[in-house]
Amino acid sequence: MGITDFLVGAAVFILAMVTLGLVRIFRGPTEADRMMSAQLLGSGGVAVLLLLAVVAETPAIVDVALMLALLAAFAAVAFVVNARVRPDEGPEARGQR
């Protein structure tokens, strides 16, 4: 078993874990759970792309992985900005207790 087989096996394992995270995206129960699962999807995607870049010896895949990481960071910032409590509306106004 060479290093290439190990890297491909690691990529498959990470993809399996990301697939389990997709269940949390669809089932919830809260928006925060869904956002954290989406972050897992982004991080797992970056990890898989970096592993496959080494296996395929294609440096352009690293650029795609970095772009995916940047998009995941922007998604997290957008979620936090959207989810924060505004001074004029409390939890009651948003339907929470």
Contact assessment for residue 11 and residue 48, using Cβ atoms and an 8 Å cutoff: yes
Note the pLDDT of residue 86: 59
Q: Note the pTM of the prediction, 2 decimals.
A: 0.76
Helix ranges (DSSP H) in 3-94: 3-27, 31-56, 60-83
One digit per residue, pLDDT tens: the chain, 97 residues? 788 999 999 999 999 988 888 888 888 788 888 888 888 888 999 999 999 999 999 999 999 999 999 998 898 888 888 877 655 555 555 555 5
Sign of the alpha-carbon dihedral angle for 8, 58, 20, 10: positive
Note the pLDDT of residue 87: 57
Sign of the alpha-carbon dihedral angle for 14, 19, 23, 25: positive
Which residue ranges make up each domain of the chain?
Answer: 3-83
Cβ count within 10 A of residue 43: 16
